[in-house]
Structure 1
Amino acid sequence: MALSDLSTADLAQLESQLFSEFDALAATGLSLDLTRGKPSPEQLDLSERLLSLPGEGDHMAGGTDVRNYGGGAGLPELRSIFAELLGVDVDRVIAQDNASLSIMYDLLTFAMLFGTPDSLRPWKDEPQLRWLCPVPGYDRHFGITEALGIEMVPVPLGPTGPDMDEVERLVAEDPSIKGMWCVPIFSNPTGAVYDDHTVSRLARMATAAPDFRVIWDNAYVVHTLTNDFPKVPDVDTIAAEAGYPNRFLQVCSTSKITFAGAGVSFLSSSRANLDWYLGHTGIRSIGPNKVNQLAHARFFGDADGVRSHMLRHRESVAPKFEAADAALTRRLGGYGVASWMMPEGGYFIDLEVVDGTATETVRLAKELGVALTPAGSAYPYGNDPDDRHIRLAPTLPPLVEVEAAMDVVGLCVLLAACRAAG
């Protein structure tokens, strides 16, 4: 029965039962972590062969000695693999060091200090800077814009992308809005996949700022939870046809494909944007880690090698998402106090609870030894105005711990909802 249909006496009885179970679990001394989307040791082991690559004596790639300086754009062999995965030409992709987050930070920092190829002046000299942030979204994105002093403007994110009516209205009338974060495939944390109509509108919309940029974070482009891989739209071509060839800055990495702490990142964009980026990185660096890039090229072989590798990841990750869904359903089904969408890829589940109870749910879970990402982290400045969203990350713990942790989460959601209803 829905919680809202319970009588006062039944609600009090349910709350008492939940408290008894809460106290019993508190005595067990749980210590479980669902805070961040990390690969499990089992997933990392899938790439163990990388530690022996490229191997002694294997250091030449396309006439380049990878042990030496240079090659700022990265190895063509590896770039061609990820160009195919991203659906772009190889000359529109560069390979860098570990973490696409570093590329994204550089992109905005360079724009702040020097402006973009389409800017009239450095962004730091603008009277005001604003940035669109689809919500719920990725907290590390928001950390970059906040650190650089760029005002963040939330826009709602639905199952097929952001509210484009609102996006188009904002960018058409406000030249201080310089860009937008987007995770177009298996969005963090909702699992949303932008549909073709949304992509087309983002590429073709008129903006008051001539140097408007979309940072297109394709972090989960091959992270399927099914046997199928998503279609990847060629956003650069669509935008160029509309007269905005420099709009998109697409990034991805191998961080959740091979070793999260020792991967390769990629930037795909127009030639003008890539030349601009490499012009600045060429000053701060004499080239990326090409030995690691060659190791990855040898490890994957080709784009199908990446896809095959990711299907092995799926075998490890998908059962955890299924277990999370089953545990939450057992605890919360029928009460009408929570909702969540099971994604077809990515690393997260976005749990929506009764308004005003997300923070309390996280606090209760912590008392039971289950660490969750702070409520509000999926919003700019950590401020979820409805205190409704909780990001769950089931990939790191073993399956049995996922089941236990999600059961605790469900208990805490229901207990917090009872308190709010009382």
Structure 2
Amino acid sequence: MPLLDTYKGVLMMVQKINEMVDSIEDWIIEQRRYLHMHPEGSKYEYETSNKIVKELTKLGIEVRTGYYNTGVVGIIRGEKEGPIVGLRFDMDALEMEELTDVPYKSVNKGFMHSCGHDGHTAMGLGVAKALTKMKEEIHGTIKLIFQPAEEDAPNGGGAQHMIKDGVLENPKVHCMVGMHIWPQVELGVLGSRPGVMMAASDPFVIKITGKGVHASLPNLGVDPIVIGSQIVNNIQTIVSRNIDPFEQAVISIGVFKGGTRYNVIPESVRLEGTVRSFDDKVREEVYKRLKKIVEDTASALGGKGELDYKFTYPPLINDEKIVKIAKESIIDMFGKEKYLDVPRPAPGGEDFAYFAKSVPSVFMFLGSGEEGKENHPPHSPYFNFNEKVLAIGTKAFIKTAINLGRSFYAE
């Protein structure tokens, strides 16, 4: 195809996507506000799931349910031959009280959409509404995957369970696209990178058992608080002395619980923490060193240390080829200035990593940061975002999905 014709085709496609999404932008915002008002915790997204099924059914989309209890899949078959492109939208909220004063504030006490999943789900519904009127542009099939329990790291997250339930089969998904609203990136800018995009996220619990005694007679007991303090200090040597200086890892203790009274040395204490890493070998080394430090430090001081370590979300690794197509799609849609080559991986965990391990994938950050405003981070009780990002994200999903279908088919 001549270059001029290709350029004209791109412009026509961009115009069509812009017109289609702009015409439903208010509807997408309406969906987001409804979801924000009705947040539900991981594995219990019943009302959210029903809402998605209802909206997809209205659009005449083939709907499938039963994936890890509340997961939903929508199937949009194009008019041209091609691959199966999966688009993932996480939909769970966090257990926390919302402190914003927006009119669509959570009505479910103790739950809040403080990580943007309400926006992701609304964008998924926007993609569905737009693509039902653009089937002639789709090569192959687009599989909309609405995923529960992204925040449920201790239980493995919803992605791997949906995969076990067959979400990537029938029809078999060839590649995946995921996205996250990201206040650390400028509003309207989308970014990604080939290779490692986000960290492995592994929670752990340390139980230290000593011998309880009156605080005035420490020689008759074994103080688990002292043991725990030594363990916290010794843990700091793992990154500084056991990990290659050119590799990365983070180990943090977030909980240290023990004791009931000022003059009693307790029988036991409990520590909770997290490990973030970007390489599976580093991940394994941190675990081995942590286990040895816990057990040997406690033993040397007369107590017992037990480590309960969970390997949950692996590093999220983007496929170079899929990233290239996504980057071209964003530049086509919004211009070069709206694409960011992300310079380094983010330390946060993300269970889209399981999809990325299963099929070639790209995960992108959708910028929501605004200059001159306080941009509260995800998981803050004040978290919110400019709803202009919803249309931007919807357009990015659509253009990337269509381009992926065409690129795969061209091969």
Sort the TM-score into its range (normalised by shorter chain).
Answer: under 0.3
Which is greater in Rg? 2
Identify the structure with the greater helix proportion: 1
Structure ranking higher in strand proportion: 2
Q: TM-score, normalised by structure 1?
A: 0.23
